[in-house]
Amino acid sequence: MKSLKTNRIVFVPNANDAKSNENENLHLVNWEATETAIFQKQYLLLIGVMLLVLLVYTLRVWHLQVLQGARYRYQSENNRIRLEDISAPRGIIFDRNGTPLVENRPAYHLLLVREDVADINRIIQDVAQFCGKNPEDFLGVLEASKNIPKFVPIRLLADVDRDCLAKIEAQRIRLPGVMVQLEPKREYKWNGTAAHLIGYLSEITESELNSEAYQDYYAGENVGKFGIEKAFEKYLHGKRGGRQVEVDAVGRRMRLLDEALPIPGRNLWLTVDVELQKTAEACLQDKVGSIVALDPRNGAVLALASKPSFDQEQFVRGLTSEEWRKLSRDPDHPLLNRAFGAAYPPGSTYKPIVALAALQEGIMSPGSAVYCPGYYYFVNRKYRCWRDRGHGSMNMHNAIVQSCDTYFYQTGLRLGVDKIAQYARLFGLGQKTEIGLPGENAGLIPTSWWKKQAIGVPWQKGETLSIAIGQGFDLTTPLQMALAYAAIANGGKLWQPYVVRRIEGSNLEEVDEIKSNLKTTIQIEGRHFETVQKALLGVVEEGRGTAHGIKAPAILIAGKTGTAQVVRLADGVNRKLAAKNAKEKEQDHAWFVGYAPADNPQIVVSALVEHGGHGSSVAAPLVQQVILAYLGKKMEQPGP
């Protein structure tokens, strides 16, 4: 039996194969490590991007909700709730008798909320067609308002007429975004009368809005710019109100949510009599000048006229550039308040003050005589009297009655410039009267010190002769002269002038009575006042008085004429001939200041006519008319 052999196959590992497997395993491990690192980078990058997006989103949400939250909340609420301003009516201005001088009337303005308008060009064209306006004007308003948020109403047209308003109301459904705003508008009942005293309104400026005085004001408001409207702005202005209304998608009002009513401005009662004011202004018709009337017993202003005047309503409507250019370049300066904003040489109206100074200082007595040959010869020069043939022997009474220059040349020379200035200031000259209205001129009463400081040269005695008769450097206002003569009339009481006597609010607790203020009592003996008062009465009552032509049969008027030279005449020139041939702007200024009744003064009137000529023939009759109008009216009033 054969034996079977099993062939055994034995695999012996190859060294090369083992090495190959080892390399493959190592490569696999390296691949896995590399892929893991790349994946981790991508994962971290994705996480970083997501975190960055989340951070940006969070920051944006924080910016919108925290930093800008109030703004966007306000805008979103105003998509359905609108806040509307309600203008406060300004206070009414009355004269002393309760006649309204300035009131308010309703004015309608067209507003546009651009946020509610889909086709703004069509709206502009329609509104322009209804109101007869040029669309380009409205487009200009839109361009100027492009930086204003669209939800804020802008004014397209101010103070529209009734026809325009009716058409707009009839077509409201076709005019989304168009609103009509009611606002009280200033109305001057006697437009142009007392314009310089009352003043006018105009739109508030940017500089005013930034000032403390106008903290509660808004852009577009009208504020006082001149006169009483400006001086009493804080009383007249009032406090604005407002309302919350709900509107639909096209801006139409659905219902009223809340309302705060405005507080009207306070009313003013003036000391001025409008009828006397109109009389004074009628006296100045076709003239350039001023008339001031006041009560010598308390300083209350009864009339304050300045001509030429101006249209107050023109400022309320809004001046065009051409209108303003014409007004500001007018050679007669209609915006100038000549009552206290312009100063003039007082001429011979200054002589009574020089006389009082001489009496009080003992330099002259009522009986002191000076001979007037028609001139006064001083330092190789003739200083002429207004009367070429002279006045002869003059005492103080006659020198005032006949206005003798020669007498006052010598009186002034004895007093000296500084002593004259001292007494002039006692009567309020050369300083503001503190009437409380803007634009007051202090005038000028010269002294030797003033000339040295202002001009740099010493005072000359020859200049004293000029100022003694109200010429040279002397400058006063019509209001100052009225107050000075009031002090002469009442025996030395210098009052502070005032134009508002009562300020009324909405209830009895808001009523302020303005009391008169006695500034000073001039320390001059009463007998000296009596001497000058008798002379001023003689100016009108005596046949040789320079104002005898205005003598009234029933009322005693006292006063003084004045003629202030504008152009100095050369020696030897005939005055009458020079005055006859002088051009209009070379004519003398005409003055007269008077009071009545002379024995119980109730009114003082100062009149100044620029380039009017002689005070006796031009200014004195104007004062007479004002005095008679006032006292005649008082005589007609029944007794208590």
3 is catalytic: no
Encode pLDDT of 557-599 as tens digits: 999 999 998 755 455 555 554 455 555 677 899 999 999 999 9
Identify the DSSP state of 389: T
Encode pLDDT of 344-387 as tens digits: 999 999 999 999 999 999 999 999 999 999 999 998 899 999 99
As a whole number of angstroms, the distance between CA 280 and CA 333 comes to: 19
Encode pLDDT of 449-470 as tens digits: 999 999 999 999 999 999 999 9
As a whole number of angstroms, the distance between CA 434 and CA 223 comes to: 22
Point out the catalytic residue in the list 87, 290, 306, 348: 348
Whether 3 has a pLDDT exceeding 70, the answer reads no
Residues 210-228, buried b or exposed e (16+ Cβ, 10 A)?
eeeebeebeeebbbbbbbb
Prior bond of 106 cis (ω within 30°): no
Encode pLDDT of 523-567 as tens digits: 999 999 999 999 999 999 999 999 999 999 889 999 999 999 875
Q: Where are the alpha helices (DSSP H) in 79-174?
A: 120-131, 135-144, 162-170
Residue pair 519/496 in contact by the 8 Å Cβ criterion: yes
As a whole number of angstroms, the distance between CA 491 and CA 532 comes to: 10
Residue of 333, 326, 278 whose CA lies nearest to 308? 333
Residue 191: Cβ within 10 Å count = 15
The pTM score is 0.81
Phi and psi at residue 633, in whole multiples of 5°? -65, -40
pLDDT of residue 248: 66
Element (H, E) at 268: strand 267-270
Contacts of 338 (CB under 8 A, 6+ apart): 196, 288, 289, 290, 306, 307, 478, 608, 610
pLDDT of residue 640: 36
Residue that the structure tokens 């002429």 belong to: 384
Contacts of 473 (CB under 8 A, 6+ apart): 444, 446, 451, 463, 466, 467
